[in-house]
């Protein structure tokens, strides 16, 4: 039997730093044993025995055969683990026969001898050849087979008695060339429509015939189908969707790279998705699709910014979501205490209760953070000059994700799925994630307005999502602990010892688009609109000192009622009002005003902006938009809040019965029990609100009849 050990002494050879050396002398010193080595050129080298045996620079050269780590066979644990119970029983029975041949005892030890052992044919006095013949006659096999068992047992123990497994399930001698050809065809269809198995088999057959293979060398059709099942694991083509197959094919060959945040605010993920639920336009009273823009802190999974818009998301909308991370919106007036964050974003666990000092006060709907790095995709709203210049000005690094690689922003993609499965699919107007999941008429059920849908999502995030444990929020030092985003924020603050907070609330104006205009005696002209304000008095008729003599004006394209001017003397921002702003009924966007002018010009030869906006309101209030562009502008016009206004109290939708039931079902157990008490069957307040909701729906029916 070969041995794993090698005797180290004088004459033992080693490979040291790529050269063959031989031990010529051993010596004992106070520091331990040492050896003297001689290389092929006669040079001597003195080393410690520990260095020679444990260093990666030295490797022993055995002088005889024996086991090695690079042997082609698998280790015993791998071989035996492949066996089922019946196969394992057969291997153990065969090992007992081999031990009886070698020792006369099935257990291999005289101390564990069974009754009647050793039998006469297997005593130690019998020649080995006669024992081989006796065992072969007993089992009905050839003596050569018994000898092969004995040799394998001496070499590898029980693992050597495991029958050798065949290669591919096909059993065909030319299965490997056919599999390579079929895999080539499957890879070529990665970016194409899904092929059938029959087509792949035929194309692989044609390629092998063209390469010189004979027809009899190719596997049968049944074997080819079995081979395709194995190839499907290597390159999915038939079972999954084509989009999923492309994602799998684009995986890197090595280990996935991943950013690992270490504190709150280090990485902020931003993305936009189309919501799978319809909402009502408060102007036209027709259903619409909306887009959700979200900013998420990667370390805590806290949602720091939410922006819901009609389908046409703009760069300013992404800037608004980023701005909310700087200055969070206020919490709802009826939100539970656990869903409200302190105004400055510090966890309440390190503060004195604010109500004990100043009485009840409203907090924020999300924590306040200044991100260090923003991760975005390649959408135009995220890589626009508007957003990138603001981030550069505020010292925020913008890191784009790889093209068509959703796993680079995995947490926020998972949030969109959680939002759909836990909230949106329980709301009226839910249409499903794709065409195959769509109901018969989901738009007929929608009754939430756009701002109400945003309020529902905000409240669900604050009350449920931020306080539900996530499997990905863990502390490596406490195995098994799962934390919620709110708890992870406190954990991150304790771990890092600080958070980044905005230094100036007026930094919000940095997110606005800038236009350069001259200041006239009557104010400034911007897009055929006139703006004026007291802040312009010291600069009327003056040039700015720049090359063009114009002054920078910050413009909010979603609300042209006012623009913003920074006084160069004190560097403070001032609002300049549009001359027709007092007569408007709601915020007006730039594209809405342009459309109003076109409508007015088609009817009057000399229209003015005031009359054009008035006619536009009348047209949309009657629901008479005739094109998709008109309808899209009407949706943006229906927004109740400007793009970057300071936080104002939101209209609460928590009292709607369907939302109350949804919050109660999705909340934590203790929160759900409290909600159940508030929404009982005998609750008179709920019945009154239900009647009021029915009255409102009758009002909308009448309004539609007027149309």
Q: Which residues contact 409 (CB under 8 A, 6 or more apart)?
A: 269, 271, 375, 377, 401
Q: Does 126 map to a domain?
A: yes
β partners of residue 271 = 294
pTM of the predicted model over 0.85: no
Q: What is the pLDDT of residue 491?
A: 87
Main-chain phi, psi angles of 179, to 5 degrees: -65, -40
- Containing 184, the helix (H) or strand (E) segment is helix 175-188
Last residue of a domain, which of 37, 72, 107? 72
For residue 367, name the pLDDT band (cuts at 50, 70, 90): confident
The verdict on 440 and 532 lying in the same domain is: no
Contact assessment for residue 109 and residue 96, using Cβ atoms and an 8 Å cutoff: no
Maximum CA extent, the chain: 126
The verdict on 286 and 371 lying in the same domain is: yes
Helix axes 197-210, 221-234, angle to 10 degrees: 100
**Whether residue 376 has pLDDT greater than 70:** yes
Q: What is the pLDDT of residue 590?
A: 60
d(CA 371, CA 394): 10
The verdict on 489 and 409 lying in the same domain is: yes
Task: Return the top range by mean pLDDT from 3-12, 25-34, 292-301, 588-597.
Answer: 292-301
- Containing 564, the helix (H) or strand (E) segment is strand 562-566
How far is the CA of 540 from the CAs of 411, 525, 529, 534, in angstroms?
A: 52, 13, 17, 10
pLDDT tens digits along 161-205: 888 765 444 445 557 889 999 999 999 988 888 999 999 999 999
The verdict on 272 and 232 lying in the same domain is: no
Would you call 661 exposed, middle or buried from its count of C-beta atoms within 10 A (0-12, 13-18, 19+)? middle
d(CA 292, CA 279): 13
d(CA 563, CA 535): 12
Q: What is the DSSP string of 90-150?
A: HHHHHHHHHHHHHHSSTTS-GGGPPTTPSPGGGSTTS-HHHHHHHHHHHHTS-HHHHHHHH
For residue 507, name the pLDDT band (cuts at 50, 70, 90): confident
Main-chain phi, psi angles of 582, to 5 degrees: -60, -25
Segments forming the whole domain that contains residue 570: 515-608+624-637
d(CA 560, CA 405): 38
Residue with more model confidence, 658 or 402: 402
d(CA 437, CA 426): 14
Instruction: Give the count of beta carbons closer than 10 Å to the beta carbon of residue 220.
Output: 10
The verdict on 311 and 415 lying in the same domain is: yes
Q: How many whole angstroms from its chain centre is CA 125?
A: 72
Instruction: Residue 54: give its domain's CATH number.
Output: 2.30.30
**Whether residue 351 has pLDDT greater than 80:** no
d(CA 409, CA 270): 8
Q: What is the DSSP string of 312-379?
A: ---HHHHHHHHHHHHSPPBPPTT--GGGPBPTT---GGGS--HHHHH-S---BSS-----SEEEE-S-
Q: What is the DSSP string of 457-498?
A: HHHHHHHTGGGS--TT--BTTBTT----HHHHHHHHHHHHS-
Q: What is the pLDDT of residue 449?
A: 72
Q: What is the pLDDT of residue 342?
A: 74
The verdict on 308 and 440 lying in the same domain is: yes
pLDDT tens digits along 293-321: 999 999 999 999 998 887 777 777 788 78
Q: What is the pLDDT of residue 168?
A: 46
How far is the CA of 264 from the CAs of 267, 433, 498, 563, in angstroms?
A: 8, 32, 9, 34
Q: What is the pLDDT of residue 678?
A: 38
For residue 31, name the pLDDT band (cuts at 50, 70, 90): confident
Q: What is the pLDDT of residue 93?
A: 92
- Give mean pLDDT, residues 88-92: 90
Tell me the pLDDT of the chain averaged across its residues.
Answer: 76
d(CA 62, CA 211): 47
Q: Does 509 map to a domain?
A: no
Instruction: Residue 430: give its domain's CATH number.
Output: 3.30.420.10
pLDDT tens digits along 530-582: 899 999 999 998 988 888 889 999 887 666 778 889 998 888 888 898 887 66
Q: Does 648 map to a domain?
A: no
d(CA 207, CA 201): 10
For residue 645, name the pLDDT band (cuts at 50, 70, 90): very low
The verdict on 331 and 422 lying in the same domain is: yes
**Whether residue 379 has pLDDT greater than 70:** yes
529-532 sheet: strands from edge to edge: 513-517, 551-555, 562-566, 573-578, 529-532, 524-526
Would you call 297 exposed, middle or buried from its count of C-beta atoms within 10 A (0-12, 13-18, 19+)? buried
Helix axes 609-621, 590-603, angle to 10 degrees: 100
The verdict on 67 and 80 lying in the same domain is: no
Residue with more model confidence, 580 or 435: 580
Q: Does 259 map to a domain?
A: no
Task: Return the half-sphere exposure (C-beta side, CA atoms, 13 A cut-off) of residue 278.
Answer: 18
Helix axes 684-706, 657-666, angle to 10 degrees: 130
Last residue of a domain, which of 496, 529, 546? 496
Last residue of a domain, which of 249, 277, 293? 249
The verdict on 352 and 438 lying in the same domain is: yes
Least-confidence region, from 40-44, 306-310, 664-668: 664-668
For residue 96, name the pLDDT band (cuts at 50, 70, 90): very high
How big is the chain, counted in residues?
A: 707
- Give mean pLDDT, residues 621-630: 43
- Give mean pLDDT, residues 22-27: 88
Q: Does 278 map to a domain?
A: yes
- The percent of residues in the chain predicted with pLDDT above 70, rounded, is 72
pLDDT tens digits along 231-278: 998 889 998 888 888 878 877 776 666 778 888 889 999 998 888 887
Q: What is the pLDDT of residue 404?
A: 67
Q: What is the pLDDT of residue 164?
A: 72
Region of 606 (left: φ > 0; alpha: ψ -120 to 50; beta: rest) is: beta
Contact assessment for residue 275 and residue 326, using Cβ atoms and an 8 Å cutoff: no
**Whether residue 357 has pLDDT greater than 70:** no
pLDDT tens digits along 448-498: 777 778 888 988 999 899 999 988 898 877 878 889 999 999 888 888 877
Q: Does 650 map to a domain?
A: no
The verdict on 384 and 519 lying in the same domain is: no
The verdict on 139 and 63 lying in the same domain is: no
Would you call 353 exposed, middle or buried from its count of C-beta atoms within 10 A (0-12, 13-18, 19+)? exposed
Q: What is the DSSP string of 369-427?
A: ---SEEEE-S-TTTSSHHHHHHHHHTT-EEEEPPTT-GGGGHHHHHHHHHHHHHTGGGS
Q: Does 508 map to a domain?
A: no
Contact assessment for residue 362 and residue 338, using Cβ atoms and an 8 Å cutoff: no
3-state secondary structure of 702: helix
Classify residue 27 by its DSSP letter.
E
d(CA 442, CA 155): 71
The verdict on 289 and 414 lying in the same domain is: yes
User: Any alpha helices (H) in 609-668, and if so which ranges?
Assistant: 609-621, 628-637, 657-666
For residue 390, name the pLDDT band (cuts at 50, 70, 90): confident
Classify residue 586 by its DSSP letter.
S
For residue 368, name the pLDDT band (cuts at 50, 70, 90): confident
Q: What is the pLDDT of residue 63?
A: 80
Domains in the chain, number: 6
């Amino acid at each position: 039997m070969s041995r794993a050990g090698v005797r180290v002494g004088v004459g033992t050879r080693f490979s040291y730093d790529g050269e063959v050396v031989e031990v010529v002398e051993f010596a004992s010193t106070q520091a331990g044993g040492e050896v003297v080595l001689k290389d092929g050129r006669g040079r001597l080298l003195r080393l410690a025995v520990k260095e020679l045996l444990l260093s990666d620079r030295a490797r022993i050269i055995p002088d005889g055969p024996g086991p090695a780590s690079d042997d082609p066979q698998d280790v015993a644990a791998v071989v035996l683990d492949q066996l089922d119970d019946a196969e394992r029983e057969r291997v153990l029975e065969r090992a007992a026969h081999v031990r009886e041949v070698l020792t006369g005892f099935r257990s291999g030890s005289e101390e564990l001898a069974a009754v009647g052992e050793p039998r006469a044919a297997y005593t130690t006095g019998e020649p080995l050849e006669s024992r081989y013949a006796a065992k072969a006659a007993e089992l009905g096999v050839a003596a050569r087979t018994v000898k092969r068992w004995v040799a394998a047992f001496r070499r590898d123990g029980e693992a050597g008695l495991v029958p050798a497994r065949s290669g591919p399930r096909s059993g065909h001698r030319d299965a490997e060339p056919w599999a390579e050809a079929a895999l080539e065809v499957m890879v070529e269809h990665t970016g194409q429509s899904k092929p059938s198995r029959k087509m792949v088999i035929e194309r692989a057959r044609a390629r092998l015939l063209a390469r010189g293979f004979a027809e009899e060398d190719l596997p049968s059709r049944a074997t080819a189908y079995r081979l395709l099942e194995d190839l499907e694991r290597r390159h999915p083509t038939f079972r999954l969707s084509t989009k999923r197959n492309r994602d799998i094919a684009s995986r890197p060959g090595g280990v996935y790279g991943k950013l690992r945040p270490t504190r709150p605010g280090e990485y902020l993920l931003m993305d936009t998705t189309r919501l799978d639920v319809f909402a009502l336009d408060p102007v036209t009273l027709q259903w619409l699709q909306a887009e959700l823009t979200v900013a998420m802190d990667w370390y805590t999974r806290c949602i720091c910014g939410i922006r819901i818009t009609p389908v046409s998301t703009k760069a300013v909308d992404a800037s608004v979501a980023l701005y909310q991370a700087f200055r969070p919106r206020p919490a709802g007036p009826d939100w539970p205490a656990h869903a409200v964050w302190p105004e400055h974003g510090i966890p309440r666990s390190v503060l004195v209760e604010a109500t004990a000092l100043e009485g009840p006060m409203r907090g924020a709907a999300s924590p306040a953070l200044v991100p260090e790095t923003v991760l975005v995709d390649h959408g135009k709203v995220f890589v626009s000059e508007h957003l990138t210049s603001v981030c550069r000005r505020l010292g925020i690094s913008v890191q784009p994700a790889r093209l068509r690689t959703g796993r680079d922003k995995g947490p926020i993609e998972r949030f969109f799925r959680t939002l759909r499965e836990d909230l949106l699919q329980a709301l009226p107007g839910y249409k499903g994630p794709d065409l195959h999941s769509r109901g018969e008429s989901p738009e007929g059920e929608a009754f939430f307005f756009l701002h109400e849908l945003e309020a529902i999502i905000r409240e669900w995030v604050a009350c449920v999502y931020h306080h539900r444990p996530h499997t990905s929020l863990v502390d490596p030092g406490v195995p098994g602990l799962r934390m919620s985003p709110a708890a992870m924020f406190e954990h991150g603050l304790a771990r890092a010892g600080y958070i980044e907070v905005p230094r100036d609330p007026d930094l919000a104006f940095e997110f606005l688009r800038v236009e350069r205009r001259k200041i006239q005696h009557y104010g400034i002209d911007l897009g055929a609109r006139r703006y004026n304000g007291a802040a312009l008095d010291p600069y009327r008729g003056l040039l700015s000192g720049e090359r063009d003599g114009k002054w920078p004006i910050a413009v909010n394209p979603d609300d042209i009622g006012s623009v913003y001017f920074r006084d160069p003397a004190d560097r403070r921002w001032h609002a300049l009002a549009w001359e027709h702003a007092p007569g408007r009924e709601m915020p007006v966007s730039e594209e809405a005003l342009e459309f109003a002018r076109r409508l007015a010009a088609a009817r009057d030869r000399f229209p003015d902006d005031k009359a054009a906006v008035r006619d536009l309101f009348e047209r949309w209030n009657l629901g008479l938009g005739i094109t998709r562009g008109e309808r899209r502008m009407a949706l943006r016009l229906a927004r109740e809040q400007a793009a970057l206004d300071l936080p104002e109290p939101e209209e609460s939708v928590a009292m709607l019965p369907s939302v109350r039931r949804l919050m109660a079902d999705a909340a934590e157990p203790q929160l759900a029990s409290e909600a159940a008490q508030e929404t009982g069957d005998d609750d008179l307040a709920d019945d009154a609100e239900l009647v009021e909701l029915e009255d409102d729906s009758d009002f909308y029916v009448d309004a539609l009849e007027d149309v």
